Amino acid sequence: MRAAWRWRLLPPPPFVCQPGYRRSSSITAYTAVVDGNGCSTIYVTCEGSIGTYSFETARLDSHHRLGWTHSEEWKHVGRWSLPFKGGAQYVPEFNMWFGFSAFSPGHLCAVDLSAMHHDRPPTALQVWKNLLPPEVEWMCIPVRFELLNLGDGKFLIAGTFEAETTGQQFALLTGVEMMPCVGDDRSLQMVKHKCTRYAFTTDAIEWVL
């Protein structure tokens, strides 16, 4: 009989029962780390002084017919925060996690999460300069940033902005490529490629024939 994927309700993180937790508190950073056995651990940082928690999704179990079992275990990793905002994704070509810096909004960063195995805060190895055109950087309000990994060291940075004068929102799509620096095992050079601006409109499709 084949095992099937299914949704299941996870236990709530323990910090929801701690003093000082507000129901409106939101997760500010999250990522996942896969170990050598293929088991994933989810890490989340919640705003305030809650810190960072991990959730082990599964662990090896030689007595189980599948070879693994659900862990259902939350762990308080530390009172520190993950050094990025939103999600960060692992890029195997560089053995790093890439996301947007929590200290420099909209700036792409590379993070080494290996220190978390010893309950130490991770470090941002590199933070790259914002690639926004001057007219966007000085006259528009950033709304949201997303990162898409295209493979082979290539990424698409999708930023949503709002013009201060008109309130109109638009997207800025920027292609970048990461290249190893000569003579350095960890440092990377970011090369900017094409940048395209897409303006959102209020037009809506009401009928399709």
Q: Within this chain, do residues 121 and 174 fall inside the same structural domain, yes or no?
A: yes
What is the percent of the chain with per-residue pLDDT over 90, rounded to a whole number? 23
pLDDT at 97 over 80: yes
Q: Within this chain, do residues 177 and 143 fall inside the same structural domain, yes or no?
A: yes
In the chain, the number of structural domains is: 2
What per-residue confidence (pLDDT) applies to 1?
46
From residue 198, how far is each of 1, 45, 142, 163, 170 by CA, in Å? 49, 32, 14, 13, 6
What per-residue confidence (pLDDT) applies to 207?
61
pLDDT at 48 over 80: no
Domain membership flag for residue 7 = no
Predicted model pTM: 0.80
Domain membership flag for residue 132 = yes
**What's the whole-number mean pLDDT along residues 34-59?**
80
What is the percent of the chain with per-residue pLDDT over 70, rounded to a whole number? 78
> Which stretches within the chain are classed as H helix?
134-139
Domain membership flag for residue 135 = yes
Q: Within this chain, do residues 71 and 128 fall inside the same structural domain, yes or no?
A: no
Q: Within this chain, do residues 120 and 184 fall inside the same structural domain, yes or no?
A: yes
Q: Among 5-14, 15-24, 191-200, whose mean pLDDT is lowest?
A: 15-24
Domain membership flag for residue 14 = no
Rounded Cα distance between 131 and 165, Å, is 22
Q: Within this chain, do residues 78 and 113 fall inside the same structural domain, yes or no?
A: no
- The most confident of the ranges 1-15, 27-41, 81-95 is 81-95
Domain membership flag for residue 2 = no
Q: Within this chain, do residues 112 and 195 fall inside the same structural domain, yes or no?
A: yes
Per-residue model confidence as pLDDT tens digits over 133-168: 777 767 888 888 999 999 999 999 998 888 888 888
Domain membership flag for residue 206 = no
Q: Within this chain, do residues 115 and 174 fall inside the same structural domain, yes or no?
A: yes
Q: Which domain holds residue 66?
A: 26-82
What per-residue confidence (pLDDT) applies to 176?
93
Rounded Cα distance between 62 and 2, Å, is 18
Domain membership flag for residue 209 = no
- Buried/exposed code over 173-201 (b: 16+ C-beta within 10 A; e: otherwise): ebbbebeeeeeeeeebebeeeeeeeeeee
Contact in structure between 109 and 127 (CB atoms under 8 Å)? yes
